[in-house]
Amino acid sequence: MLLSSSEYTLLRCGAAIQSCASVQSLSSCLSTRTPPHRKLRDQTSSVQTVRVGVATACSIHTCSVQSLQAGRVLHKIVPSNLRGKSRTAQDWLTRQLNDPYVAKARRLNYRARSAFKLLELQERLSLLRAGATVLECGASPGAWTQVAVQHCNPEDSPTYKSSSPTGCVVAVDLQPVSPVPGATFVCGDFTSPDTQQRVLQLLPKGVDVVLSDMAPSATGIKEHDHTRIMRLAVCAAHFAVRHATPHSCFLCKVWAGGEVDKFLRQLSLLYEDARLVKPPSSRSNSAELFVYARGLKSSNNNAANQQDDNKDYNITKSQ
């Protein structure tokens, strides 16, 4: 049986419409997040297809495929090769893959997303300046060190400017850290007097900014972990009030808990301003907080030497 050219065109149009209908049906089944106005637009396009013929039918097929691809983008990226990993490790990997700060850190060559916490606090509080002497406790993997070098203008940094004041960045960590040009690393336990003496040899004129990102390995027992990180915070604060220059700054990471207020009260006796801050890049569901203090008082404050209920949290300027 021979078909005329018009009949043959209509036959091809019908086949194309059936193909598009199949793709649209598959799209509606797989893409559960397609908004109602998108579905209505696709249905309207199908009606127009019957009227205009093959070319429009083929274009709807393309749009349907594109809508399927767009639907996949809306889903979270799930890491592969999770076999044998714990649920906690799987959740961490999934969170990292979908974290915009992680992607931004890679793009800007920061070693970790934590760099943006210090950058945001720097923008808000102006902690760092060219010519400042900075001590960073708990430096690994070196993201905060990178930010400190960028702002303090140490002599060996890639961005060093001879026309600006020359700063100094000293970083301490238990673990060896890959070098950051412009910074001096000390590998050791900062709570040890021997390590602190090594640090002091690198800070002959005192320190203008003390940063502490120290944290213990979490055990999952909140009260125990909170007590341990507070002891690290107190250690950093002791060093700051003894060896920092007048009007210096102090920034320290803590985890929310009952001892934070007591620690903050002690700092308020020694600094002009002491408060809690939380940068936007710190996850909202995290117990992480930062204690910020500015303006170390140059004269001994008698109130600062008053004994607290827990002597471990008594921060004094006397050795």
* Token code pair at residue 295: 């303006």
Neighbouring C-beta atoms of residue 255, cutoff 10 Å = 21
- Distance (Å, whole) CA 48 – CA 57: 9
* Residue reference for tokens 């502490």: 212
Q: Catalytic residue numbers?
A: 253
Please state the φ and ψ torsions of residue 154, each to the nearest 5 degrees: -70, 160
- Distance (Å, whole) CA 215 – CA 255: 9
